[in-house]
Structure 1
Amino acid sequence: MKEIFGEETKKKKAGIRLVREELFKIVFGVEATESTSEELEKAFDIYLSNNEDFVSTLSESQLKFLQTSVKGISENYDNIKDTIKANTQNWAYERIGLVERTLLIIATYEFLKANTPIEVVANEIVELAKEYGNEKSYEFVNGILANIGKTK
């Protein structure tokens, strides 16, 4: 029956992929309200207190990744946005959709500050773009990430 209606069985997310999706949700909320980097850390504190059951299921490395990413994005918010702006050709930063902008912020942080291979980050961010964005989101995100990856 699933084949008839085109339903797909989603892979269960685990590890850093699961945490990266939670990071997306946190940053998305902050970007939706056009908040500042300081408000990202406040939003994270609220997230932790409102999601204690979920947070308690995270491994030490998953929680550390989430904490480090939020702190790193917050500390480098302006630099991350400047990097994205410098790598979007013929497209104003303000015109980038909220989902795409959020995913680009996360990936750019990881490209610039984390030791995760670019291919791994790009792959997972593109998968999130397919899941949360429209049918063209992943192509747009992938193109910008390719530009950023070339400059790294």
Structure 2
Amino acid sequence: MVDRISKERRSANMARIRSKDTGPEMRVRQIAHRYGYRFRLHRKDLPGKPDIVFSARRKVIFVHGCFWHRHEGCIDCSEPKSRQDYWQPKFARTKARDQRSLQLLQKAGWSAMVIWDCETKTDDDLVAAIFNFLGPPKVGA
């Protein structure tokens, strides 16, 4: 199937997609901060450059977009109809890179959590998941 959008328009659309400070990432950061968790962002010295890093706890959170990182069974994980010869290998590389990053972090003694874009829609479940992963906030943090 041929792309229905011009090459220039497709390029402009793709250029607007951010990898940092996305809406779902900001929601996770706001909740973590609200409950007293302190963190760093996008540490380049860790595998996969985790979105949120809790150094004292040796824990990281990745906030993944369902489409880009292929969230299995999610309605937001649709298959592009055009240029499948491009998209299939791209998605495979992304999934392999994500898996490799998680393995390297675990090997280095870090715990990692993946929060999917679709899981950031309601605060209650998100707060529970963050508490369950990080444990109680440290007093005086």
TM-score of the superposition, structure 1-length normalised?
Answer: 0.29
TM-score normalised according to structure 2 size: 0.30
> Quick check: which one's helix share is greater?
1
Q: Relative to total residues, which structure has the larger strand share, 1 or 2?
A: 2
Q: Which protein has the larger Cα radius of gyration, Structure 1 or Structure 2? A: 2
